[in-house]
């Protein structure tokens, strides 16, 4: 009975290995198919970006946005330097940490206080936005290889 049982066990192991190999081969084929599809989508997106980068309308609107933000920053710097007494009153929530990141959406606090901001402090916050946007639009995009 031993040789018959060993033969059946060997055949069962061989059958399980064949099933496992077929399953792994199918997964490999699916991954290759998805990779080819993703590559085609990436090539189409790259072609679209290259076409948009050479579009004169897009170039002009980027330059207009870049120049308008830069001129606004320069104007505000000069204006606040010549008028240091300028201040702004804003409403600020008392308990801003209760709602977490989504407190702006769900309302983090029902109580507010009035805070006075000087022009220089407001300009400091505008600097972050300005340099982020100016850097984004001023740096030319190269080809992705």
pLDDT at 99 over 60: no
DSSP-derived secondary structure letter, 113? E
Report the pLDDT value the prediction gives residue 4, as an integer from 0 to 100.
75
What are the tens digits of pLDDT across the range 19-41?
888 888 888 888 888 888 888 88
Whole-number Cα distances in Å, 13 to 2, 4, 6: 16, 14, 10
Closest CA to 62 of 136, 12, 144, 129: 136
User: Would you give the end-to-end CA distance of the chain in angstroms?
Assistant: 65
- Mean pLDDT, the chain, whole residue set: 78
Question: In the prediction, which pLDDT does 115 show?
Answer: 86
pLDDT, tens digit (0-9, with 9 covering 90-100), for 41-62: 888 888 877 777 677 887 788 7
CA distance 63 to 52: 14
Q: What is the reported pTM?
A: 0.46
**Alpha-carbon dihedral angle through residues 14, 16, 22, 26, given to the nearest 10 degrees:** -160
pLDDT the model gives residue 108: 62
Q: What is the DSSP letter of 140?
A: P
What's the pLDDT score for residue 31? 86
Output Rg (C-alpha) for the chain, integer angstroms: 31
Q: Are the beta carbons of 87 and 114 closer than 8 angstroms?
A: no
Residue-wise pLDDT for 124-136, tens only, equals 878 877 777 777 7
In total, the chain counts a number of residues equal to: 145
Could you give the percent of the chain with pLDDT greater than 90?
A: 0
| Res 102: pLDDT | 65
């Amino acid at each position: 009975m031993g040789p018959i049982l060993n033969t059946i066990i060997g055949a069962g192991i061989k059958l399980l290995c064949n099933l496992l190999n077929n399953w792994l081969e199918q997964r490999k084929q699916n991954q290759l198919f998805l990779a080819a599809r993703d590559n085609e989508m990436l090539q189409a997106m790259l072609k679209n970006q290259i076409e948009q980068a050479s579009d004169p309308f897009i170039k002009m609107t980027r330059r207009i946005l870049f120049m308008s933000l830069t001129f606004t920053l320069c104007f505000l710097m000069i204006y606040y330097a010549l008028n240091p007494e300028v201040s702004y009153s804003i409403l600020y929530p008392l308990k801003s940490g209760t709602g977490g990141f989504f407190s702006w959406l769900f309302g983090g606090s029902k109580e507010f206080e009035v805070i006075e901001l000087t022009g220089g402090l407001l300009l400091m916050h505008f600097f972050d936005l300005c340099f982020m946007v100016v850097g984004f639009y001023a740096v030319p995009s190269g080809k992705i290889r």
